[in-house]
Amino acid sequence: MDYRRELLKGNIQTLVLAVLSDAPRHGYSIAQEILRRSGDTLRFGEGSIYPALHTLEREELIVGEWETPQTGPARKVYRLTEKGLLEFAARKQTWTDFARTIDRVIGDSPDAQPI
């Protein structure tokens, strides 16, 4: 079983919110920024990134607006809503708490208690 893939499945939306918390971006740019920030480890294709964007948009956590650049085709640029910013803060705290707890269990945290 690919455990990394399973972990990512439930967290792609949080990664998208994280990237959008810095600046508005279009879908491909979001995927590229996740790849960059992860040290070329987390690679998402259209089959993953766009369904996540549509879900976040439906939940009113992001909003997409079509832009037509000077060169190239029109593209939809997404930005966080106020609700999305609050949701990202909550998800970030939840992830931090979860990771800290897992670290205590597996013994990779300075907070781990010896058995």
List the CATH number of the domain containing 27: 1.10.10.10
Domain assignment present for residue 21? The answer is yes
Domain count, the chain: 1
| Residue 22 in this model has a pLDDT that exceeds 70 | yes
| Residue 111 in this model has a pLDDT that exceeds 80 | no
Domain assignment present for residue 43? The answer is yes
Q: Return the closest-CA partner of residue 28 out of 9, 57, 50.
A: 50
The domain in which residue 19 lies consists of 3-81
Domain assignment present for residue 27? The answer is yes
Domain assignment present for residue 101? The answer is no
58-100 pLDDT per residue, tens? 999 999 999 998 888 899 999 999 999 999 999 999 999 999 9
What angle is formed at CA 87 by the lines to CA 11 and CA 98, rounded to 5 degrees? 50
Cα–chain-centroid distance for residue 3?
18
Structure tokens at 71: 């060169």
CA distance 73 to 58: 24
